C-alpha cells in the first residue's frame, strides 16, 4: 500500500465542522495527519488544489442485482460504479434472486464483495422470507451473519403485525428496519405520480397518500415498540411532515431522500416545461414524452413535493441522501411506459446532480456532504469499523473522496461503469465530478 499526500485541497468534514485548505497525509491505509503544509518524505504527492476533499460517501440504499440478475449489475460492476460516484460504503438491498434472506446468501455477498468490489459492500437482509410478506425471515441469524439492516424494499412490509415483530427484532439486534412506504392496494403498480401530468399522459396515478399511509402506520409501530425505523426514499410533502412531527415526539425514526426526488419532477415524463434542477432556473429543451428512464418507484413528484423534500433535507428532518441506484438492462426499459421496469441508475450522477442543487442556493454543500457521510453513518451505527468512518481524522481509515465542484460534464450513460445505462439525465450538463475515491488508503477510482 502506497503512502500518499493530498496536497492543498479544501478539506470539508461536516463531522468536525472543518472547512479549510489543508493537506491530508495517508499512511498504511489510515489518515496519518491533517494540517497545513505537511512534510512529505517518500510519499506520493497528489496536488488537489481547487478540489474538495471529503469523507467517502456512504450509500444506505442501492440494488446490485447479485446474485441472480447480474446481466443488470453485479457486485463487481456496481462496486466500481459506486467508487466512480465517490461512495466508499454501499448497502445493497435484498431483492436479488435468491433473496438475501439466509446466512448462505449473506455470506455469498460478503465474500464476493471482498474479492471483487473496490468499495465496502454491506448487505441488507429481507424482513420476510423471500420478501413474500408472509412470515418473518430469521432476523437474529441474519444480523449475526452480517446484515446491517432489514428491508423488504421494492415493496412495503406487508402487514402491521409483521412490521411490529420486525421492529421488535430491530431492538434486539440493533439493526434498523428500512421501510419502502407504498400502500400497494392504492398504487396497483401505477407508473406515475397521481396528478395533472399522469392525467394528461393517460397513465395510472400513484397517490401521495399511498406513501403517507404506510409512514403513519410504521411511525405508530416504532413508537409502540421502540424499534429503529428508517424511511426509504421519502418523496412527498406529507411524508416529510409526518417524520418531522414524529422526531419532535421522540419516535426513533430516520429518513433518506434520493438525488432524483430532490432534482426532478414529473414534468420529465411529459418532456416539456423542464427545468434543471427542478427548483432551478435553467430551462431545458423539450424532450420526448413517456421516456421510460424517468420511471421510478416512488415516482417523480410535482413541484410542491420536491420543494418539501429539499426543505426536509435542509432542516435535518431527512438525515441522509441515498441513491436507490437501480440498474436495469436496456430491454427492461425498451417498452411502453406502463410495462417498463422501475428504477434509475444513480451512483455516477448523484454528486453532480446534488452540486446542481447546491447551485440553486436551496441547500449548502456542507449539508449535502453531511447527508452523504455522517447522516447515513448515524443510521447504521459504526458497526465495529465495517462502515466508512464518515470523517477525516487522524487514525481513521482513509476512506476519502476528492471532487471538483466546478468541472462541468455532460452525462453520457454509455460511459457509466455501471451496467445500468438507465438515466433520465442522459445529455444533461452537471456542474462537477468525482476525481478520486479512496478506500482504506487504496485508490478505488481515479478519473
Radius of gyration of the chain (CA): 21
- Cα–Cα dist 250/266, whole Å: 34
- Cα–Cα dist 296/316, whole Å: 25
- Report, in Å, the least distance between residue 154 CB and Zn ion: 6
- Report, in Å, the least distance between residue 57 CB and Zn ion: 17
Q: Candidates 179-187, 205-213, 345-353, 394-402: pick the segment binding Zn ion (CB under 5 A).
A: 179-187
Q: Which of 66, 152, 324, 332 is catalytic?
A: 324
- Report, in Å, the least distance between residue 232 CB and Zn ion: 5
Which residues between 295 and 324 bind Zn ion (CB under 5 A)? 324
Instruction: Pick the closer one to Zn ion by CB: 57 or 276.
Output: 57
Phi, psi of 70 (to 5 degrees): -75, -5
Angle (nearest 5°) at CA 278 between 272 and 349: 105
Burial class (CB in 10 A: 0-12, 13-18, 19+), 22: buried
Give the H or E element holding residue 222: helix 208-225
- Report, in Å, the least distance between residue 54 CB and Zn ion: 25
Instruction: Pick the closer one to Zn ion by CB: 54 or 147.
Output: 147
- Report, in Å, the least distance between residue 93 CB and Zn ion: 5
* Residue 32: other Cβ atoms inside 10 A: 18
- Cα–Cα dist 177/380, whole Å: 11
Q: How many residues bind Zn ion (CB under 5 A)?
A: 3
Q: Are the C-beta atoms of 305 and 235 separated by less than 8 Å?
A: yes
Give CA torsion, residues 188, 232, 366, 374, to 10 deg: -170
Instruction: Pick the closer one to Zn ion by CB: 187 or 317.
Output: 187
What is the DSSP code (8-state) at residue 232? -
- Each residue 113-152 as x (binds Zn ion by CB under 5 A) or -, in order, gives ----------------------------------------
Instruction: Pick the closer one to Zn ion by CB: 23 or 153.
Output: 153
Q: Which residue is nearest to Zn ion (CB)?
A: 180
- Cα–Cα dist 183/293, whole Å: 23
324: annotated active-site residue: yes
Q: Is position 256 an interface residue for Zn ion (rule: CB under 5 A)?
A: no
Q: Candidates 116-124, 177-185, 378-386, 400-408: pick the segment binding Zn ion (CB under 5 A).
A: 177-185
Q: Candidates 172-180, 203-211, 250-258, 275-283: pick the segment binding Zn ion (CB under 5 A).
A: 172-180
By residue count, the chain amounts to 447
Q: Choose, by CB under 5 A, the member of 23, 59, 101, 153 that binds Zn ion.
A: 153
Q: Is position 180 an interface residue for Zn ion (rule: CB under 5 A)?
A: yes
- Report, in Å, the least distance between residue 151 CB and Zn ion: 8
* Residue 41: other Cβ atoms inside 10 A: 6
Positions annotated as catalytic residues are 324
Note the residues at the interface with Zn ion (CB under 5 A). 153, 180, 324
Amino acid at each position: 500500500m502506497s503512502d500518499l499526500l493530498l496536497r492543498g485541497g479544501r478539506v470539508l468534514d461536516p463531522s468536525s465542522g472543518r472547512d479549510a485548505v489543508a493537506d491530508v497525509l495517508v499512511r498504511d491505509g489510515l489518515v496519518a495527519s491533517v494540517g497545513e503544509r505537511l512534510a512529505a518524505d517518500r510519499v506520493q504527492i497528489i496536488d488537489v488544489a481547487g478540489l474538495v476533499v471529503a469523507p467517502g460517501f456512504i450509500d444506505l440504499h442501492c440494488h446490485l442485482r447479485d446474485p441472480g440478475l447480474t446481466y443488470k449489475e453485479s457486485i463487481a460492476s456496481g462496486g466500481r460504479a459506486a467508487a466512480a460516484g465517490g461512495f466508499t460504503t454501499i448497502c445493497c438491498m435484498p431483492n436479488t434472486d435468491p433473496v438475501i434472506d439466509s446466512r448462505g446468501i449473506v455470506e455469498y455477498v460478503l465474500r464476493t464483495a471482498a474479492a471483487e468490489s473496490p468499495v465496502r459492500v454491506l448487505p441488507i437482509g429481507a424482513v420476510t422470507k423471500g420478501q413474500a410478506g408472509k412470515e418473518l425471515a430469521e432476523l437474529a441469524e441474519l444480523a449475526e451473519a452480517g446484515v446491517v439492516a432489514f428491508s423488504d424494499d421494492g415493496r412495503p412490509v406487508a402487514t402491521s403485525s409483521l412490521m411490529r415483530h420486525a421492529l421488535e427484532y430491530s431492538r434486539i439486534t440493533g439493526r434498523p428496519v428500512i421501510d419502502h412506504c407504498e400502500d400497494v392496494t392504492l398504487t396497483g403498480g401505477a407508473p406515475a405520480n397521481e396528478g395533472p401530468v399522469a392525467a394528461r399522459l393517460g397513465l395510472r396515478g400513484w397517490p401521495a397518500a399511498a406513501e403517507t399511509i404506510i409512514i403513519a402506520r410504521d411511525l405508530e409501530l416504532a413508537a409502540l415498540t421502540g424499534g429503529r425505523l428508517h424511511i426509504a426514499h421519502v418523496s412527498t410533502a406529507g411524508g416529510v411532515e409526518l417524520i418531522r412531527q414524529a422526531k419532535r415526539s421522540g419516535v426513533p425514526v430516520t429518513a433518506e431522500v434520493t438525488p432524483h426526488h430532490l432534482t426532478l419532477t414529473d414534468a420529465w415524463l411529459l418532456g416539456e416545461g423542464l427545468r434543471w434542477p427542478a427548483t432551478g432556473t435553467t430551462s431545458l429543451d423539450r424532450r420526448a414524452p413517456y421516456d421510460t428512464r424517468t420511471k421510478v418507484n416512488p415516482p417523480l413528484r410535482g413541484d410542491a413535493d420536491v420543494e418539501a423534500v429539499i426543505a426536509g433535507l435542509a432542516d435535518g428532518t431527512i438525515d441522509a441522501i441515498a441513491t436507490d441506484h437501480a440498474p436495469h438492462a436496456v430491454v427492461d426499459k425498451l417498452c411502453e411506459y406502463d410495462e417498463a421496469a422501475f428504477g434509475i441508475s444513480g451512483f455516477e450522477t448523484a454528486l453532480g446532480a446534488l452540486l446542481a442543487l447546491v447551485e440553486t442556493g436551496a441547500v449548502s454543500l456542507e449539508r449535502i456532504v453531511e447527508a452523504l457521510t455522517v447522516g447515513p453513518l448515524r443510521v447504521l451505527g459504526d458497526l465495529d469499523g465495517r462502515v466508512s468512518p464518515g470523517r477525516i481524522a487522524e487514525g481513521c481509515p482513509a476512506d476519502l473522496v476528492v471532487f471538483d465542484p466546478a468541472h462541468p460534464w455532460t452525462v453520457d450513460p454509455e460511459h457509466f461503469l455501471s451496467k445500468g445505462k438507465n438515466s433520465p439525465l442522459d445529455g444533461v450538463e452537471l456542474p462537477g465530478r468525482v476525481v478520486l475515491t479512496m478506500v482504506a488508503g487504496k485508490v478505488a477510482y481515479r478519473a
